[in-house]
Structure 1
Amino acid sequence: MHPLAVTLVLISAAIHAWREMMMKKSHDKQIFIWLICTTAVVIFFPMFVYEVWQGHLTQTAVVLSMGGAITHSIYWYFMSRSYEKGDLSHVYPIMRSAPALVFIIAVLFLHERVTTLATLGVVTIVAGIYAINMKSVTFRGFLEPLQSFGERSTRFALLTMLMVTAYSIQDKIMMQHVSPLLYSYFTVVFPTLYWTPFVLKTKSKAAITAEWNKSPFDIILTAIIAMVSYSLILYALTFERVSYVSGLRQIGIVFGVLLGGHLLKERHKWIRLTGSGLIFAGTILIATAP
C-alpha cells in the first residue's frame, strides 16, 4: 500500500473517531447531524467556488452526487439511531466492520487484485471486531456478539455497516468521474437538502435551538473535521485500491474504543482494547501489503 495513502487514511481515521465521539455526546443525534451538515455547507462554500472556477462542476458530477448522497443520507440516519442507545465503543466497531464486505465486492465486481497478506489483514480485522463485542472472556462471552444482534442499537449498527459498504464502493466509482473536493462538498449539500424536510417536520424549533445552544463549538468543529476526514479518504481512493483503503481505515475503531473507554467511561474497556489490538495488527498487514 502506498505510504501516502497510509498516512492519509490514518489521519482520517483518527479524525473520524473524534467526530463519532462528538455525535455520541450530543443530545438529539439527528438534529446534531443536520446541524453539522448545514454548517459544513456554509463553511466550505469557498471550496465549492474554487472547484467551479477550476471547471470541475459538470452535469455528470451533479447528477452522480445527487444519487450518491442518498446512500450517505441513509447512512447518517442509521448511525444516529445506533448512537441513541449504544455505546461508542460497541456500535462504532460494528459500523466499521465493512472491510470484509468491501473486500469481497471489490474483488468480485471491481476486479481489484489483492494479495494474501492483505487478505490475512482483513480476516484479522474481522476477528478483532468480533472480540470487541464480547463482554466476558468465557464460552458464554464468546457467543455474546451473536446474541447482541437482538439489540436495537446493534441492528441499526449493522444497517449502518451495510451503508458504509455501499458508499465505500460507490465513492471509489465516483472518483473516476468527480473531483474529490467537489464530491465531498456535495455529500453535505445534498444530504442537507434531503434531511431538512424530515428535521423540520419531526423536530421542534425549540429542540433545534437547544441542540445548537448546547454545543455550538462542537458542531462547528465537527463540521470541519468531518469534511477534512472524508476529503482525505476520497483523495486516497484516487490512487489506491478501495479494499485496502477501507481495511486500513478501520484503525479508527481503536481510536473510537479508546475515546469511549477513557473519555466517555464506557464498560468492557479491556476486552474492547484487546479486540482493537487485533484490528491494529490487521491494519499493519494491509499497510505493508504490496
Structure 2
Amino acid sequence: MSIAILFAVLGSAFLHALWNGLIKTGTSRLGAMVVLSIGEVPIGLTVAMLRPGLLPEAWKWVLMAGCAHFFYKFFLTYAYERGDLSRVYPIARGAAPLVVALAGPFLLNDQLSLHEYAGIVVLGAGILLMAQGIFSNGENRKMLPFALGSACATASYTLLDGTGARVAGDAIAYVAWIFVADGVFFASGMLLWKGLAVLPRQVKPWGSGLIAAAASYGAYGVSVWAMTKAPIAVVAAVRETSILFAVLIGWLVFGEKMTRGKAIAACVIVSGVILTRL
C-alpha cells in the first residue's frame, strides 16, 4: 500500500467517525439521523443513475440490506442518546466483526485462520474491557444493549452484502441503491412513528445531518476505491482506525471523560479487528 492510499484510507476512517460524531451534535440524535437518512436518498440516486442497472436477482438483497440498515441506525441512535461517542462507537464497531467472524463459518462456509481466532479472543477481551468501564464509571448501562444491537445489525448487512454485491453485477450501484433503500426506510419509518415533530426546526441540525450523509458516502467511496488499488484485507484493517478517531473526537470535541481503561480498551478492540481483517 502506497503512502497516498494509506492516507486516503485513514481519511475514510476519519469520515466514518466524523459522521457518527455529527449525529451526537444538537439536541435530538433521532432527528439528526432522520436528516442524514433524507440526505442519503439523493446521493444514492445520483450515483445509481451513473452506474449500470442492477441484475434482477440483486433487488431482494438490496431490500434485506436496507432493512438491516434500518435497525443499525435505530439501535445506534438510541445508544448515542444514552452513552458517549467514545464508549458507544468502539463497542458497536468492534462487536460487528466479532459477530461476522463467529457466524461466517456457519452461514458462509468460511474457514477461520489461526490469526482470526486470535482476533476473536482479542476483540472479545477489548469489548469486555470497554463494557466494564460503563459499570465502573457509573455511566448509563442502558446504552450497552443498544450498542450491541447496532453491532448485530451491522454484522447482518455485512453478511448480506457479501452475497448481494456478488450477484448485483456492479458493486457500486448495489451500495448506491442500498443508500436509497436505507434512507427511505429509516426516514419514512421514523416520520410515521414520531410524526413531523422529529424533524429539526433549526437550520444547523439540517446542515450537520446533510454533511454527515455526505461523509458517510465519502467514507464508503474512498474505501472502495482503495480496495481497487491495494489488498482488500489491508484496506479493511487500516479503516478500523476509525475506532481511535471516534474516541479522540469524543474526548477532544465533546469533552467526554477519557480514562486509561477506556483508551486501553479502544486499542485492544482495534488490534482485535485488525487481526480478524487481515
TM-score over 0.5 (shorter chain): yes
Kept in 2, the 8 Å contact 1:133–1:272? The answer is no
Q: Which string of whole-angstrom CA distances, capped at 9 and with x for unpartnered residues, describes residues 57-97 of structure 1?
A: 33223232122211111111111111111111112222121
Deviation at 1:168, TM superposition (A): 1.4
Q: Is this contact kept in 2: 1:91–1:157, CA < 8 A?
A: yes
CA contact (8 A) 2:97 2:273 kept: no
- Give the match's secondary structure for 2:183: helix
User: TM-score, normalised on structure 2?
Assistant: 0.82
SS in 2 for 1:266: coil
**Structure 1 residue 262: Cα displacement:** 1.6
**Structure 2 equivalent of residue 72 of structure 1:** 69
Deviation, 1:26, is 3.5
- Kindly state the Cα deviation for residue 233 of structure 1 after the two structures are TM-superposed: 5.3
Where do residues 30-179 of structure 1 align in structure 2 (5 Å cutoff)? 30-51=30-51, 55-96=52-93, 97-135=95-133, 141=136, 151-178=141-168, 179=170
- CA drift of 1:12 comes to 3.5
For the aligned residue pairs, the C-alpha RMSD in angstroms reads 3.4
Query: Which residues in structure 2 correspond to 1:222-241 (within 5 Å)?
Result: 222-232=212-222, 240=232
Preserved contact between residue 24 and residue 83 of structure 1 (Cα < 8 Å) = yes
User: Aligned pair in 2 of structure 1 residues 175, 66: CA closer, same or farther (>3 Å)?
Assistant: same
**Gap change, CA 1:207 and 1:194, over 3 Å in 2:** closer
- Conserved? CA contact 1:251–1:279, under 8 Å: no
Match of 1:183 in 2: 174
Distance 1:167 1:206, change over 3 A: closer
- The CA distance in 2 between the partners of 1:183 and 1:159, in whole Å, is 24
In structure 2, the CA distance between the partners of 1:68 and 1:6, relative to structure 1 (3 Å rule), is farther
- After TM superposition, the score normalised by the length of structure 1 is 0.79
User: Does structure 1 retain, via aligned residues, the 8 Å contact 2:17–2:246?
Assistant: yes
Instruction: Please say if residues 37 and 187 of structure 2, whose CA atoms lie closer than 8 Å, have aligned partners that are also in contact.
Output: no
Equivalent positions of 1:9-28 (< 5 A) are: 10-28=10-28
Deviations 1:152-207 (A, max 9, x none): 21111111111111111111111211222222222221123323443333445455
CA distance in 2, matches of 1:248, 1:109: 26
CA distance in 1, matches of 2:147, 2:266: 18
Gaps of 5+ in 2: none
Query: Structure 2 counterpart of 1:77, which letter?
Result: F
The letter for the 2-side match of 1:222 is A
- Aligned residue in 2 for 1:282: 272
Residues 1:118 and 1:237: Cα distance change in structure 2 (over 3 Å): farther
Residue by residue over 1:211-244, the C-alpha shift from the partner in whole angstroms, topping out at 9 and shown as x without a partner, is: 5x12333222211111122345567889857xx8
What SS class does the counterpart of residue 54 from structure 2 fall into? coil
Distance 1:124 1:247, change over 3 A: farther
What SS class does the counterpart of residue 129 from structure 2 fall into?
helix
CA contact (8 A) 2:29 2:81 kept: yes
8 Å CA contact retained: 1:184, 1:230: no
1:219 is aligned to 209
Q: Take 2:44 and 2:148, find their aligned partners in 1: how far apart are those partners?
A: 31
How far, CA to CA, are the matches of 1:44 and 1:203 in structure 2? 25
Which stretch has the larger CA shift, 8-17 or 151-160?
8-17
Instruction: State the one-letter code of the partner of 2:192.
Output: K
Matched residues, number: 274
